[in-house]
């Protein structure tokens, strides 16, 4: 990849990103979308602002977050 993808880049500027969201997402676009990048990183964006900033994480960071979510570590933020 010629140019580094950094946190805060406009999501529309990430080349070849195929964005997807959870099947649990609401119909009004209130969700987070993810895209796997060519270098293996995972980008995340707010579906309500598809041209807005994207956050970019390593696969290891996403794996740790998902493991915590599955284990209930973040349940208190929506309680």
CA 60, distance to chain mean position in Å, is: 13
What DSSP element (H or E) covers 59? helix 59-70
The predicted pLDDT at position 27 comes to: 73
Per-residue pLDDT of the chain (79 residues; tens, 9 = 90+): 335 678 899 999 998 899 999 888 877 767 899 999 998 999 999 988 989 999 999 999 999 999 999 999 999 998 7
Predicted local confidence at residue 25, as pLDDT = 82
Question: By three-state DSSP, how is residue 53 classified?
Answer: strand
What is the value of pTM for the model shown?
Answer: 0.83
């Amino acid at each position: 990849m010629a140019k580094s993808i950094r946190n805060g880049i406009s999501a529309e500027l990430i080349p070849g990103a195929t964005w997807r969201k959870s099947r649990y997402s609401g119909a009004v676009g209130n969700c987070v979308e993810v895209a796997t990048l060519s270098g293996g990183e995972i980008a995340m964006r707010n579906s309500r602002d598809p041209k807005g900033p994207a956050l970019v994480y390593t696969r290891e960071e996403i794996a740790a977050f998902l493991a915590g979510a599955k284990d209930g570590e973040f349940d208190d933020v929506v309680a």
